[in-house]
Amino acid sequence: MSSATTPPDSDPTGRRRVHSMLKLYYGLNEEGTAAEQAESLDPCDINGPHFDPEVYLNKLRKDCSLCELMDHESCMVKQIRSLDSDMQTLVYENYNKFISATDTIRKMKNDFKKMEDEMDCLSANMAAITEFSARISGTLQDQHAQITKLSGVHTLLRKLQFLFELPARLNKCLELQAYAQAVSAHRRARCVLQQYSHMPSFRGIQDDCHVIMEQLAQQLRQKFRDGGSSAKDLSECVELLLQLDEPAEELCDKFLSHAQSRLEADLQGLEAELKDSAFTDTGGGSVQKTSPGSNPISPSSSSVINPFLSPTAGTDILEFIDRGCNEFVSSLCLVIASYQELFINRPQEGELASKNIPEMANGKLHVFVDTLAARYFSLVERRIQEEKGVGDNSLLVRALDRFHRRLQAITKLLPGSAVPSHGTEIVVRAARERIKQYLSALQTFYHDSLTDVRQALAAPRLAVGGASASGGGVTSKDATPSLPELLTSLSNFILNQLKSVLASVHLFTAKDITFSNKPYFKGEFCSQGVREGLVVSFIKFICQSSRQYCESAGDRGGSTPPALLLLLSRLCLDYETSTISYILTLTDEQFLVQHHTPVTPVTALCAEAREAAQKLLNHYVKVQGLIISQMLRKSVETRDWVNTIEPRNVRAVMKRVVEDTTSIDVQVGLLYEEGVRKAHSSDSSKRTFSVYSSSRQQIRYAPSYTPSAPMDTNLLSNIHKLFSERIDIFSPVEFNKVSVLTGIIKISLKTFLECVRIRTFGRYGLQQIQVDCHYLQMYLWRFVSDENLVHFLLDEIVGSAAHRCLDPSPMEQSVIEVICERG
């Protein structure tokens, strides 16, 4: 680094080089040096350590022009100058710093010396103080011991004084009725007295105390027994007595019996009320029995306004339960709470803890609560059972809710008690009972509405006012109700009633009702109770009662009007197609039924309803067929067919038959669809109806035979029968109009046939039958599904009549036609 020979390239690099040199000098080896060394191996690098001036110069001389060399030189000189000045300042600065450091060190040396002197002085002083202190405490030792002793004596004396004063103090306390003070004082002294009782003076004191305390205990007991005092007093009293070693069991008993007497009074009050209501029940018995049932549920509610309805039985159930809750349950809770405070939850101390009072007391309390609650429950249950009317369910639910809610307080107070679960059971029972009542109410409602429908059917032309009053809305318009109207109103009534019942029952599971989240009300109540017990049972009941209509009416001469059968059949069919699934879905939705137990599936119910519908319709066909049959039979049986005159007209009964069939057709058409019929010829009524077996010209049956040849009619008819299907007379019908009418006509004509077969006809008798049959054929074909059926049966009738004819000479077909068209 000779400044003269190494002109730095640039200022920063030169300075850094200076730094690194200095560092090197001070031993601070940096990592950067390695790199520097690596780059400065070049001998031409003016800053590198291996700088060779000769090489450098040669290189410059070789490379540069003169002018450049000149420039380079001047630059180099400038750099050398600046480096020189840098070096000078640096050296100067360092020198100054060295000077000031030397000064400081010198000054510190002087100060430390002074401080050392002072420390020596301090330690000497401390030693002196220690010595003095030891000397003083040595001199005070004796006096301290004396003072301690004296203060001990003083305490003892005070205690003794307390003891001697104790009887007097106790007496004073007794006078002032400061029992607590007395007892605490006595407690403090008791052990001491016990310990020193061998000394006569102490014995005296002890005896005195005993007497006084005995007296005190007596007074306390008296106070406890009187019981008039407040709960706080009472508890204080019990606490004191317990401290006086009074037996806890006895105290519990006393406390409970005392409480019992008060609770008994409440219960008796309730019971008296119950008896009162029962009395009024029987007093207004007949009125009351009918009114709650009919009020909400009968369709004719508006007409029956019962003055005895609102004050049903003195107090309603909500009031009763309210009273029970407010009087009995709340005071029971109070008793439980104070009892627990007194006997169970007290902090146990001393020897009392060992006596296991809480357990004993708890047992007693449970027995006590259970017996009283049982009586209370029996009363409540009696009251609930009196609640027969299905009117306002919300009242009952609210009552039950309140009942249940109040019992929860007991749960909180008395965790292990069976009382709340009993209470829940009562609620559950009440709910079950309620469902049953609703079911029977629905059933009576169903019967009532059927009766209404019957009345409407039986007296359709009666005064409108009467119908609307008795029918209770079956007829709202002036016109007499038609079958479809009756059907819709009936099914609407039933559905609405069912819905309202569901709504009432739904109250049991409402969210704000405390018992609704019990497992019973979440599961079984919904599925078994409401769904199965109420809805499914009701649907089954409808089907069953419908079936009963078929059976009973069949034997006892058709007491059921046929229209009702038809209507019920349609009702059942509607149930099968839609209503049942609707109702069940509604129920499931309302009650969120989760089916843990198997329930009746919708399909089974539908099948049942369909079966009932089928039965009813079959029965309808039977009944209607029977009515027409009777007409035909009478007409055949009562006439003297041998001696009759030549037919001039169609007999009136045949016209009647056609009329009735037409009206049945209209009636059925109101409720059932048309149905399919087999294609028939364009003008069936004009079909030639000249066939009767005895004519011996059976061209129709066997066209290939020569028409004039006498044929064995039996053979012919049997050949025909072989190829025709057997006719089942009372066969089940389908749910459509054509099928129903086919059934009715089949029955009627078969009867006609059988009746003809046991009569004997004269010539004109046979002709009359011919005319009648032709007439029937003209009109009946349009009602049936297969007109050939009518033809076949009518053929048979004419054929049989011919068999039974004394002089079988048939009438000309053209004449028959003329007569029929005229009639």
Length of the chain: 823
**Binding residue (CB under 8 A) for another protein from 37, 378, 714, 809:** 714
Asked if residue 722 binds another protein (CB under 8 A), the reply is yes
Query: CA 54, CA 34: separation in Å to the nearest integer?
Result: 25
Asked if residue 730 binds another protein (CB under 8 A), the reply is yes
Whole-angstrom CA distances from 19 to 12, 13, 24, 46, 588 are: 11, 10, 8, 16, 96
- Gyration radius of the chain over CA positions: 61
Asked if residue 729 binds another protein (CB under 8 A), the reply is yes
State which residue, 579 or 694, has the beta carbon closest to another protein: 694
- x/- track of binding to another protein for residues 352-391 (CB under 8 A): ----------------------------------------
Q: How far is the CB of 790 from another protein (least distance, A)?
A: 17
Query: CA 402, CA 380: separation in Å to the nearest integer?
Result: 12
Query: CA 49, CA 47: separation in Å to the nearest integer?
Result: 7
Show the DSSP H helices in 459-506 as ranges: 464-471, 483-506
- x/- track of binding to another protein for residues 5-34 (CB under 8 A): ------------------------------
How many other C-beta atoms lie within 10 A of the C-beta of residue 353? 12
Q: How far is the CB of 765 from another protein (least distance, A)?
A: 12
Q: How far is the CB of 559 from another protein (least distance, A)?
A: 12
Asked if residue 754 binds another protein (CB under 8 A), the reply is yes
DSSP structure class, residue 646: P
Q: Could you tell me if 783 and 625 are in contact, meaning their C-beta atoms sit under 8 angstroms apart?
A: no
- x/- track of binding to another protein for residues 664-693 (CB under 8 A): -----------------------------x
Q: Is 805 helix (H, G, I), strand (E, B) or coil?
A: strand
Q: How far is the CB of 656 from another protein (least distance, A)?
A: 20
Q: How far is the CB of 714 from another protein (least distance, A)?
A: 5
CA atoms within 13 A on the CB side of 816: 24
**Which among 40-48, 255-263, 322-330, 756-764 is the span making contact with another protein, rule CB under 8 A?**
756-764
Q: How far is the CB of 693 from another protein (least distance, A)?
A: 7
Phi, psi of 721 (to 5 degrees): -65, -30
Asked if residue 346 binds another protein (CB under 8 A), the reply is no
Asked if residue 749 binds another protein (CB under 8 A), the reply is no
Query: CA 366, CA 379: separation in Å to the nearest integer?
Result: 20
**Which among 77-85, 428-436, 646-654, 728-736 is the span making contact with another protein, rule CB under 8 A?**
728-736
Q: Could you tell me if 247 and 361 are in contact, meaning their C-beta atoms sit under 8 angstroms apart?
A: no
**Binding residue (CB under 8 A) for another protein from 130, 603, 760, 809:** 760
Q: Is 42 helix (H, G, I), strand (E, B) or coil?
A: coil
State which residue, 674 or 712, has the beta carbon closest to another protein: 712
**Binding residue (CB under 8 A) for another protein from 417, 489, 569, 717:** 717
Asked if residue 739 binds another protein (CB under 8 A), the reply is no
Asked if residue 92 binds another protein (CB under 8 A), the reply is no
DSSP structure class, residue 761: B
Token code pair at residue 255: 């406390």
Q: How far is the CB of 285 from another protein (least distance, A)?
A: 34
**Which among 453-461, 584-592, 700-708, 720-728 is the span making contact with another protein, rule CB under 8 A?**
720-728
Token code pair at residue 180: 């607590």
Phi, psi of 476 (to 5 degrees): -105, -30
Q: How is 187-224 classified by DSSP, letter by letter?
A: HHHHHHHHHTTTSHHHHHHHHHHHHHHHHHHHHHHHHH
How many other C-beta atoms lie within 10 A of the C-beta of residue 174? 16
State which residue, 413 or 550, has the beta carbon closest to another protein: 550
Q: How far is the CB of 264 from another protein (least distance, A)?
A: 58
Among candidate residues 305, 524, 536, the one with its CA nearest the CA of residue 439: 536
Q: How far is the CB of 699 from another protein (least distance, A)?
A: 17
Asked if residue 639 binds another protein (CB under 8 A), the reply is no
Q: How far is the CB of 336 from another protein (least distance, A)?
A: 59
Token code pair at residue 636: 């055949």
**Binding residue (CB under 8 A) for another protein from 79, 235, 546, 713:** 713
State which residue, 358 or 554, has the beta carbon closest to another protein: 554
CA 657 to chain centre: 59
For 169, residues 6+ apart whose C-beta sits below 8 A from its C-beta are: 182, 185
Count H helices and E strands in the chain, helices first.
27, 0
Subset of residues 764 to 823 that bind another protein, contact rule: CB under 8 A? 803-806
**Which among 221-229, 249-257, 303-311, 751-759 is the span making contact with another protein, rule CB under 8 A?**
751-759
Class of residue 432 by CB neighbours under 10 A (exposed 0-12, middle 13-18, buried 19+): middle
Among candidate residues 454, 801, 499, the one with its CA nearest the CA of residue 647: 801
Q: How far is the CB of 518 from another protein (least distance, A)?
A: 44
Q: How far is the CB of 498 from another protein (least distance, A)?
A: 34
State which residue, 298 or 713, has the beta carbon closest to another protein: 713
Asked if residue 731 binds another protein (CB under 8 A), the reply is yes
State which residue, 671 or 793, has the beta carbon closest to another protein: 793
Subset of residues 411 to 430 that bind another protein, contact rule: CB under 8 A? none
- x/- track of binding to another protein for residues 536-575 (CB under 8 A): ------------------xxxx------------------
Phi, psi of 761 (to 5 degrees): -115, 145
Q: How far is the CB of 561 from another protein (least distance, A)?
A: 17
**Which among 261-269, 514-522, 646-654, 715-723 is the span making contact with another protein, rule CB under 8 A?**
715-723
Asked if residue 757 binds another protein (CB under 8 A), the reply is yes
CA angle 106, 109, 110 (to 5 degrees): 100
Class of residue 151 by CB neighbours under 10 A (exposed 0-12, middle 13-18, buried 19+): exposed
State which residue, 88 or 760, has the beta carbon closest to another protein: 760
| Residues near another protein (CB under 8 A), total | 28
Residue for token pair 């061209």: 699
- Amino acid at residue number 325: C
For 563, residues 6+ apart whose C-beta sits below 8 A from its C-beta are: 457, 483, 667
Footprint of another protein (CB under 8 A): 554-557, 626, 693-694, 712-714, 717-718, 721-722, 726, 728-731, 750, 754, 757-758, 760, 803-806
